[in-house]
Amino acid sequence: MDRFEAGSTLFWEGDPAANVFEVVAGVFRIVRVLNDGRRVITGFIYAGELLGASLRDRYLYSAEAVTQVTVRRFGRNRFQEEISRQPELREQLFSRLSDELAAAQDQMVLLSRKNAEERVCNFLLSTARRVTQTCPAMPIVELPMTRLDIADYLGLTIETVSRTMTKLTNRGVIVAAGRHSVVIVKPVTLASLAGESYADPYAAPTERCLGAA
């Protein structure tokens, strides 16, 4: 097991892709730098997920620790041998790559079609679905990343993110539950503000899980 402190970099965009990593604990942000030097966050990786599994010769992004993290390292050659030997690993890798593709498509829709409030609500809702292991009526959503991280992920300014979060709090949709977490008090309202349809089969399990507003 390898451990890294918050703010440290696991690997840089363009580094030789010598290893695949499984996140055991903690959260990473996936970062790409544009030609003009601007930072773009394309996603967050949580415990149980893989990093660097695209099987390219070089990493396509940088992986930075949001929190203190623990990872399990697999050499690229060993990882490929295990995939060839174990069909279930091939299925897991295919599932992971499919998830990455779906997440990339969702991000394109988020940035091109949704307004600021919809983007923030969508982020809160999708994070709740991703990290909530049980089905409480009002889930606590951990947000260890900074408001700037969220802004860079959503293509917004930090002021807009903060203003939208305050608006949701004032409306009673969410309440703060510590420095880095919120409680979704009205999940159905949050889904509506995110521009989601309850008829959507992706949204339906969340409605059953999170309860009514």
pLDDT in tens, 120-171: 998 998 888 876 654 556 678 899 999 999 999 999 999 999 999 999 999 9
**For residue 102, is pLDDT > 90?**
no
Determine whether 120 is exposed, middle or buried from the number of CB atoms within 10 Å of its CB (0-12, 13-18, 19+): buried
Q: How many domains does the chain have?
A: 2
Residues 122-143: b if buried by 16+ CB within 10 A, e if exposed? bbbbbbbbebbeeeeeebebbb
Domain boundaries, position 81: 2-111
Sole residue written with tokens 């544009």: 34
pLDDT of residue 44: 93
State whether 132 and 206 are in the same domain: yes
State whether 76 and 119 are in the same domain: no
Sole residue written with tokens 């690229």: 76
pLDDT of residue 138: 66
State whether 90 and 121 are in the same domain: no
- Residue at a domain's end among 61, 89, 111: 111
Q: Which amino acid is at 155?
A: G
pLDDT of residue 208: 41
State whether 65 and 12 are in the same domain: yes
78-91 residue pLDDT tens: 877 777 777 776 67
**For residue 98, is pLDDT > 80?**
no
Q: Measured between alpha carbons, how far is 162 from 148 in angstroms, rounded to an integer? A: 9
Average pLDDT over residues 84-113: 67
pLDDT of residue 197: 55
Taking the whole predicted model, whether its pTM rises above 0.85 is answered as: no
**For residue 61, is pLDDT > 70?**
yes
Q: In this predicted model, which residue has the larger pLDDT, 207 or 54?
A: 54
State whether 81 and 159 are in the same domain: no
State whether 16 and 92 are in the same domain: yes
Sole residue written with tokens 């690997």: 11
Average pLDDT over residues 86-101: 68
Average pLDDT over residues 172-194: 91
Q: How confident is the model at residue 204 (pLDDT cuts 50, 70, 90)?
A: very low
Strands 181-184 and 19-25: unpaired
Q: How many CB atoms lie within 10 A of CB 175?
A: 13
State whether 104 and 203 are in the same domain: no
List of residues 6+ apart from 59 with CB closer than 8 A: 11, 12, 13, 14, 15, 16, 17, 52
Q: How confident is the model at residue 50 (pLDDT cuts 50, 70, 90)?
A: confident
pLDDT of residue 201: 35
State whether 53 and 128 are in the same domain: no
Average pLDDT over residues 187-207: 64
Average pLDDT over residues 99-106: 64
State whether 134 and 181 are in the same domain: yes
Query: According to DSSP H, which parts of the chain are helical?
Result: 76-85, 87-113, 116-131, 147-154, 158-170, 187-193, 204-210
**For residue 54, is pLDDT > 90?**
no
Q: Measured between alpha carbons, how far is 90 from 79 in angstroms, rounded to an integer? A: 10
Q: Specify the CATH number for the domain of residue 197.
A: 1.10.10.10
Determine whether 41 is exposed, middle or buried from the number of CB atoms within 10 Å of its CB (0-12, 13-18, 19+): buried
